[in-house]
């Protein structure tokens, strides 16, 4: 029993995410059923699709300046395809982007002589590592982050380099915005600017009315952080207003 054998040459267009497979004649290649080969003579393997997706992922990471150590795992692979004769082009897209630490799809669009033929999907997981701040103890809300309660060690991260807390200087005066448990990676979402006003504190109310600054005595009705909006009461009129916290003593009335 004889088998028909063919081969293809892969051309990787790095700038566009295209992977073209052009017929170059008869040579060594994968064997397949002759009857099937008569109608679907081109083989596009899972390995070729994976090579395209992985190359494109590395390009995208480089494009956003991601140079940290990372691991890319193929979770589920697109099946090898038997395709009609013609020039085969594969285009890969990532509809959910490249999220760190979560499974995401790589969707392949397969064209024959420029006409869409079919789609296929592989799934990957990308893990990125960095040296980050990690809680050494349980940290209460409003507690400052310091070497007394945190350390730096390598961990898997889900933030871009500019948002990753790699040292204490990056905390930038913020405190724990809520309770942080021991051994948890400290991320910007867990932090907040410190409370500078408590409910009941006297404050100065400032209102800019068309360039005329009006000042009045007020009382904070709720706690606030700088740039947060809180409710206050005008002492003279008793009116309840909303204002942005400027500092520990000043609230700029809104409206």
Nearest to 120 by CA among 163, 145, 85, 90: 90
Does domain 8-125 match CATH 3.10.129? Answer: yes
Give domain 195-253's CATH number out of 2.30.30.760, 1.10.3720.10, 3.40.1280.10, 2.60.40.1760: 2.30.30.760
Contact 205, 234 (CB under 8 A): yes
What distance lies between CA 151 and its chain's CA centroid? 24
Query: Which residues neighbour 33 within 8 Å (Cβ) at sequence distance 6 or greater?
Result: none
Domain ranges of the chain: 8-125, 129-192, 195-253
- In 18-72, where does DSSP find H-type helix? 34-39, 46-63
Nearest to 103 by CA among 79, 129, 77: 77
Q: Give per-residue pLDDT as tens, 35-83.
A: 434 455 789 999 999 999 999 999 999 999 999 999 999 999 999 999 9
Fold of domain 129-192: Type Iii Antifreeze Protein Isoform Hplc 12 (3.90.1210)
Q: What is the pTM of this model?
A: 0.69
Cβ neighbours around 190 below 10 Å, total: 20
Q: Give per-residue pLDDT as tens, 109-165.
A: 999 999 999 999 999 999 999 999 999 999 999 999 999 999 999 999 999 899 999
CA distance 249 to 46: 65
DSSP string, 186-202: P-GGGEEPPEEE-TT-E
Task: Compute the residue count for the chain.
Answer: 255
């Amino acid at each position: 029993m004889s088998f028909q054998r063919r081969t293809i040459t892969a051309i990787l267009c790095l700038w566009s995410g295209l992977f073209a497979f052009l017929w170059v004649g008869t040579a060594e290649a994968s064997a397949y059923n002759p009857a099937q080969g008569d109608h679907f003579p081109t083989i596009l393997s899972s390995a070729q699709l994976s090579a395209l997706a992985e190359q494109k992922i590395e390009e995208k990471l480089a494009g956003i300046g991601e140079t940290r150590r990372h691991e890319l795992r193929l979770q589920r692979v697109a099946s090898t395809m038997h395709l009609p004769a013609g020039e085969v082009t594969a285009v890969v897209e990532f509809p959910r982007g490249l999220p760190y630490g979560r499974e995401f799809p790589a969707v392949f669009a397969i064209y024959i002589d420029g006409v869409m033929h079919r789609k296929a999907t592989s799934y990957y997981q990308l893990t990125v590592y960095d040296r980050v701040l990690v809680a050494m103890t349980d940290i209460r809300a409003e507690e400052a982050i310091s070497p007394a309660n945190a350390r730096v060690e390598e961990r898997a991260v889900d933030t871009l380099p500019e948002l990753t807390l790699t040292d204490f200087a990056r905390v930038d005066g913020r405190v724990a915005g809520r309770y942080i448990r021991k051994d948890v990676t400290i991320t910007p979402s867990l932090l907040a600017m410190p409370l500078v006003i408590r409910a009941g504190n006297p404050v100065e109310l400032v209102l800019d009315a068309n360039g005329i600054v009006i000042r009045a005595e007020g009382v904070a009705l709720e706690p606030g952080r700088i740039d947060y909006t809180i409710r206050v009461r005008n002492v003279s009129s008793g009116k309840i207003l909303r204002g942005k916290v400027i500092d520990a003593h000043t609230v700029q009335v809104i409206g």
